[in-house]
């Protein structure tokens, strides 16, 4: 596949097509949040240990919560379209500033998780499939089932218990040691050490899934006619596996990984909470309980954009991997 | 017989796994193949002919299917005793193979050039430049236009014929002594098949290759074989020179196979004017694909059927003949409104079906019924045979008990044991399932039966039986039939009239006997000239 003007045109078109989708999501999110009981005013009042109704009404007026819903919605959509995500009264900061501060850590966690889970899943699946029905295959398959079935937060807690508390090898919380004031490579190393446990926790489930998919895809592809052709050409089995089967088998795994980026975001809410990782997931969790709807909507909006973007990237990757796919 | 055989099989036996329906796929088979000779191995599905090919190449799906005895002597060397290293050196370089379906036999993610190059790379020490020169030369030899482009192309970017040519180029690039061809033209259209057969024969003569050609089609055998080996249930039942086996077969099984090959002589003319017109199709059009999507430019539409006019008289059979992609199935589906035509009218017995809404159409559905090509995919696996057949009448308001009784009667009509009524489709063979499919269609007592390639998935002997059955039923029930087929032999046997379709248009329409005797359109002539073994007239045999 050549990246030419056609590809750029395609990307631009896909981005344009994404606009109505994202707006739709924004509207839907807004309406869904209206269903939740209470608002920021009641929470603020509640935290102050109770407040007179006049004060709550005053708060509502200040936040614009007293206006009719459709007016609020139109106003919000209009603001979003001009990339103004509003103000978080809870944190006393513009939402965009809050979110973008947290975006980096989340992307870091998601990115490493994605890479680790896909690479190790593909690798383990490959090993299992090339040694099908031997002890290697069985160990990998059983481990994959266990990892698949175990809840995320429990894995996280157990990993903390083992590696941080018992062995004291790795830090448990945060993204870096803020009081150490590391710089340069020391800081990178420090972040990497903090990254190990959350990544491992979040990766295990997906790794198990990809391992199973890869194993199945490899076995499936090995039964295909082109493999017989390759044998009839006199190719050695290793060459057939690596040159012919592997690439064909990776395709479904890539598709799946692309689809699951969205759920990876969901999974990061739990993992970020367990490991106090200063990312979007944690922020979403806090803002939900504070009824900080502006902030929550902002996070949702960003997540939607992220998923749309990742899907586009996956499609482009697919274009490189599979020559049968045409831009359209 | 002075020259020693290139390949000699001595008492070769191949065992099947214990759960198979018979013990051996190939049993005590002996066969010889000489240089510059084409030996055709003919047999129906399950005869063990493909297993034989794989056994020679050492490509059996071990450990379930394995050679249990005999010798495979290639230039004096027993391949069954050769180690894996030695076998790899022989495969491709000395014995090459081509397959039935070139689309799946090629890796979809690799360019044609790369896949051929790989073959050269592992067997010869050549520079990249030398390899490429050799590939280009061979691509030219198999007459692929623009070899440079073909080398860079992926399999899906080529047509079926081009892919098979590329496969042949790949197989022949190392000038192997033997080419094993496993049904190499079965998946191709008839005109392409004729070209590929001619190409194989030409290259075989030029390179003095020994070809082991596996096929189920006696027409193909007549076209290219020097010697013929007939297999039945893993046993070689007859072996001899092509002319002898084709014209004076000795074994009963060979005789029955040859007797089952439909002759290329059309049905005699029947009185055309007497019967009223039952089905009238005018100006039917269908275009697939949608226009532009949001923000997208251009469209990718396929004009599957372009303004087709047809008429079928009551009690007659019209053959809709064409190659794959000619739009014949789409037209049939438009007629019974499985898909909505974009334009045109379909009148059945005076009722304009195309003007009716889906709901209004429902009571008329029973007047047209369809028999599908795939006897495996077209029957609901969760219903018993009698339920399958009775379903139609019950939907149209017949009492369940009555419908079930009709279903049992129909089973008798299609010559299935009524005791089989309560079994499920998977317990039947392909031919039996097709009979069930016919019974299902007949249950509604249709005026018009649309049969979409009803015998294409069947073996030749089963095909003959099903065709016979269709002919009997048609005469007995005075059915009108629209018979879709790509096989001119079948069309000649079954159809009173023929409509030849090409690129969504009917290029020729007339009584079968006239079309065969004096084809008017160039494409019809091309089709007729491409029928394999058209010069061979199957002998009249006592069955």
Q: Is residue B219 part of a domain?
A: no
Instruction: Write out the two tokens for A220.
Output: 């499936």
Give yes or no for A146 touching B (CB within 8 A): no
What SS3 string covers A133-165? CCHHHHHHHHHHHHHHHCCHHHHHHHHHHHHHH
Reported pTM: 0.82
Helices H / strands E in chain B, number of each: 20, 20
Alpha helix segments (H runs only) across B142-239: 147-152, 160-172, 190-207, 218-224
Give yes or no for A231 touching B (CB within 8 A): yes
Residues B164 and B309 in one domain: no
Nearest beta carbon to residue B92 from set A224, A234, A328: A234
Residue to mutate among B62, B169, B295, B299, with most A CBs inside 10 A, is B295
Question: In this complex, do B118 and A228 lie within 8 Å of one another by their Cβ atoms?
Answer: no
Question: In this complex, do A243 and B118 lie within 8 Å of one another by their Cβ atoms?
Answer: yes
CB atoms within 10 A of CB B273: 6
Q: Which of B173, B199, B217 is the last residue of a domain?
A: B173
Alpha helix segments (H runs only) across B109-154: 112-123, 128-141, 147-152
Nearest beta carbon to residue A229 from set B93, B106, B296: B106
Q: Sheet holding B24-33: strands in order across?
A: B24-33, B7-15, B66-74, B77-78
Question: In this complex, do B109 and A322 lie within 8 Å of one another by their Cβ atoms?
Answer: yes
* Chain A residues within an 8 Å CB radius of B83: none
Domain count, chain B: 2
Q: Is residue B68 part of a domain?
A: no
Q: How far is CA B309 from CA B94, B243, B322, in A?
A: 54, 44, 16
Nearest beta carbon to residue A233 from set B91, B104, B300: B91
Which residue of chain A comes nearest to B155, CA vs CA?
A324
What does the pLDDT profile of chain B (543 residues) look like in tens digits? 457 889 999 999 999 888 877 888 898 999 999 999 999 999 988 888 889 999 999 888 877 888 998 999 999 899 999 888 999 999 999 999 999 888 899 999 999 999 999 999 999 998 999 999 999 999 998 888 889 999 999 998 888 889 999 999 999 999 999 999 999 988 888 888 999 999 999 999 999 999 999 999 999 999 999 999 999 999 999 999 999 999 999 999 999 999 888 888 888 877 656 788 889 999 999 888 765 555 455 556 778 888 889 999 888 899 999 888 888 888 998 998 888 888 899 998 888 888 888 888 888 888 899 998 887 788 888 999 999 999 889 988 889 899 998 898 888 888 888 888 888 888 888 888 888 999 999 898 899 999 998 888 788 888 888 888 888 888 888 889 999 998 888 999 889 999 999 988 999 999 999 999 999 999 999 999 999 888 888 887 654
Question: In this complex, do B119 and A225 lie within 8 Å of one another by their Cβ atoms?
Answer: no
Give yes or no for B108 touching A (CB within 8 A): yes
Question: Strands B480-485 and B448-452, how do they pair?
Answer: parallel
Give residue limits of the domains in chain A: 19-84, 100-321
Q: For residues B318 and B495, is the Cβ–Cβ distance under 8 A?
A: yes
Q: Is residue B266 part of a domain?
A: no
Whole-number Å distance between alpha carbons of B222 and B245: 10
Tell me the CB-side half-sphere exposure of residue B159, using CA atoms within 13 A.
12
Q: For residues A140 and A128, is the Cβ–Cβ distance under 8 A?
A: yes
For residue B294, the surrounding DSSP H or E stretch is none
Q: Which of B173, B207, B222 is the last residue of a domain?
A: B173
ipTM, 2 dp = 0.81
Alpha helix segments (H runs only) across B336-443: 358-361, 385-395, 400-413, 430-442
Q: Which of residues 12-71 of A touch B (CB under 8 A)?
A: 13, 16-17, 20
Nearest beta carbon to residue A232 from set B92, B101, B300: B92
Q: Which of B173, B203, B219 is the last residue of a domain?
A: B173
Question: In this complex, do A232 and B90 lie within 8 Å of one another by their Cβ atoms?
Answer: no
Q: Is residue B517 part of a domain?
A: yes
Q: Is residue B143 part of a domain?
A: yes
Q: Residue B279's closest CA among B352, B385, B176, B198?
A: B352
Q: Residue B165's closest CA among B189, B185, B186?
A: B185
How does DSSP classify residue B91?
A: B
Does B471 sit behind a cis peptide bond, omega within 30 degrees of 0 on the bond before it?
no
Q: For residues B486 and B240, is the Cβ–Cβ distance under 8 A?
A: no
Query: CATH classification of A100-321, choosing from 1.10.3720.10, 2.40.390.10, 3.40.50.720, 3.30.750.24?
Result: 1.10.3720.10
Q: Is residue B229 part of a domain?
A: no
Residues B310 and B438 in one domain: yes
CA A247, A249, A255 angle in degrees (round to 5)? Answer: 100
Domain coverage including residue B155? 106-173
Give yes or no for B300 touching A (CB within 8 A): yes
Q: How far is CA B539 from CA A164, B191, B255, B534, B536, in A?
A: 88, 25, 9, 13, 9
Q: Is residue B238 part of a domain?
A: no
Alpha helix segments (H runs only) across A223-292: 225-232, 237-239, 246-259, 261-274, 280-289
DSSP B40-62: EEE--TTSSHHHHHHHHHT---T
Whole-number Å distance between alpha carbons of B153 and B141: 18
Nearest beta carbon to residue A228 from set B59, B110, B293: B59
Q: For residues A321 and A251, is the Cβ–Cβ distance under 8 A?
A: yes
Question: In this complex, do B105 and A225 lie within 8 Å of one another by their Cβ atoms?
Answer: yes
Q: Residue B105's closest CA among B181, B16, B199?
A: B181
For residue B531, the surrounding DSSP H or E stretch is none
Q: Is residue B32 part of a domain?
A: no
């Amino acid at each position: 596949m050549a990246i030419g003007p056609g590809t750029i045109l395609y990307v631009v078109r896909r981005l344009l097509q994404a606009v109505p989708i994202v707006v739709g999501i924004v509207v839907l999110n807004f309406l869904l949040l209206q269903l939740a009981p209470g608002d920021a005013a009641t929470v603020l009042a509640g935290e102050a240990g109770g407040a007179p109704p006049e004060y709550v009404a005053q708060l509502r007026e200040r936040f614009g919560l007293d206006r009719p819903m459709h007016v609020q919605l139109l106003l919000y959509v209009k603001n979003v379209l001009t990339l103004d995500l509003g103000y978080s009264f809870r944190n006393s900061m513009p939402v965009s500033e809050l979110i973008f501060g947290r975006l980096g850590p989340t992307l870091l966690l998601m990115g490493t998780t994605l890479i680790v889970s896909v690479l190790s899943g593909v690798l383990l699946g490959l090993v299992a499939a090339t040694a099908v029905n031997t002890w290697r295959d069985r160990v990998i398959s059983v481990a994959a089932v266990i990892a698949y079935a175990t809840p995320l937060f429990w894995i996280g807690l157990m990993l903390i218990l083992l590696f941080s508390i018992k062995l004291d090898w790795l830090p448990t919380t945060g993204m870096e040691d803020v009081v150490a004031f590391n710089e340069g490579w020391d800081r990178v190393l420090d972040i990497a050490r903090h990254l190990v446990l959350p990544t491992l926790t979040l990766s295990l489930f997906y790794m198990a899934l990809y391992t199973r998919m890869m194993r199945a895809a490899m076995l499936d592809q090995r039964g295909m006619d082109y493999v017989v052709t390759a044998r009839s050409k006199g190719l050695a089995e290793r060459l057939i596996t690596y040159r012919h089967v592997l690439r064909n088998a990776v395709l479904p795994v890539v598709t799946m990984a692309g689809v699951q980026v969205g759920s990876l975001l969901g999974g990061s809410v739990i993992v970020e909470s367990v490991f106090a990782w200063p990312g979007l997931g944690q922020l979403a969790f806090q803002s939900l309980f504070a009824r900080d709807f502006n902030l929550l909507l902002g996070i949702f909006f960003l997540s939607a954009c992220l998923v749309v973007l990742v899907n586009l990237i996956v499609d482009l990757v697919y274009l490189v991997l599979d020559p049968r796919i045409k831009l359209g | 017989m002075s020259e020693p055989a290139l390949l000699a099989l001595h008492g070769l036996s191949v065992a099947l796994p214990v759960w198979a329906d018979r013990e051996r796929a190939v049993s005590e088979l002996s066969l010889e193949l000489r240089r510059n000779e084409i030996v055709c191995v003919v047999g129906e599905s399950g005869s063990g002919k493909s297993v034989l090919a794989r056994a020679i190449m050492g490509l059996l799906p071990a450990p379930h299917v394995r050679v249990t005895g005999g010798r495979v002597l290639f230039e004096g060397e027993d391949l069954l005793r050769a180690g894996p290293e030695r076998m790899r050196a022989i495969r491709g370089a000395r014995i090459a193979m081509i397959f039935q379906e070139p689309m799946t036999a090629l890796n979809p993610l690799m360019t044609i050039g790369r896949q051929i190059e790989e073959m050269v790379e592992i067997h010869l020490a050549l520079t990249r430049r030398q390899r490429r020169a050799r590939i280009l030369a061979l691509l030219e030899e198999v007459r692929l236009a623009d070899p440079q482009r073909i080398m860079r192309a992926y399999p899906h970017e080529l047509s079926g014929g081009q892919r098979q040519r590329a496969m042949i180029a790949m197989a022949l690039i190392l000038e192997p002594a033997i080419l094993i061809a496993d049904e190499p033209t079965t998946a191709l259209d008839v005109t392409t098949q004729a070209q590929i057969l001619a190409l194989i024969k030409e290259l075989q003569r030029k390179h003095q290759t020994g070809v082991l050609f596996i096929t189920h089609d006696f027409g193909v055998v007549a076209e290219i074989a020097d010697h013929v080996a007939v297999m039945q249930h893993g046993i070689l039942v007859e072996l001899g020179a092509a002319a002898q086996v084709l014209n004076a077969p000795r074994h009963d099984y060979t005789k029955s196979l040859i007797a089952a090959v439909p002759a290329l002589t059309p049905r005699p003319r029947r009185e055309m004017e007497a019967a009223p017109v039952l089905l009238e199709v005018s100006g039917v059009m269908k275009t697939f694909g949608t226009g532009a999507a949001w923000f997208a430019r251009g469209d990718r539409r396929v004009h599957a059927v372009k303004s087709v006019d047809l008429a079928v008289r009551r009690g007659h059979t019209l053959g809709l003949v064409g190659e794959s992609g000619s739009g014949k199935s789409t037209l049939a589906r438009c007629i019974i409104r499985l898909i909505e035509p974009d334009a045109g009218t379909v009148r059945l017995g005076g009722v304009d079906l195309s003007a009716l809404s889906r709901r209004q159409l429902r009571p008329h559905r029973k007047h047209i019924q369809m028999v599908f090509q795939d006897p495996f995919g077209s029957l609901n696996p969760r219903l018993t045979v009698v339920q399958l057949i009775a379903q139609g009448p019950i939907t149209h308001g017949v009492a369940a008990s009555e419908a079930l009784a009709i279903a049992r009667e129909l089973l008798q009509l299609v010559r299935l044991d009524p005791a089989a009524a309560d079994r499920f489709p998977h317990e039947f063979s392909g031919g039996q399932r097709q009979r069930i499919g016919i019974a299902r269609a007949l249950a509604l007592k249709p005026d018009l039966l649309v049969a979409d390639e009803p015998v294409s998935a069947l073996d030749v002997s089963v095909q003959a039986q099903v065709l016979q059955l269709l002919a009997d039923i048609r005469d007995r029930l005075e059915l009108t039939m629209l018979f879709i087929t790509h096989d001119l032999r079948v069309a000649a046997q079954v159809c009173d009239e023929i409509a030849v379709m090409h690129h969504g248009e009917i290029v020729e329409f007339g009584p079968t006997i006239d079309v065969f005797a004096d084809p008017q359109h160039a494409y019809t002539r091309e089709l007729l000239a491409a029928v394999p073994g058209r010069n061979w007239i199957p002998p009249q045999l006592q069955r």
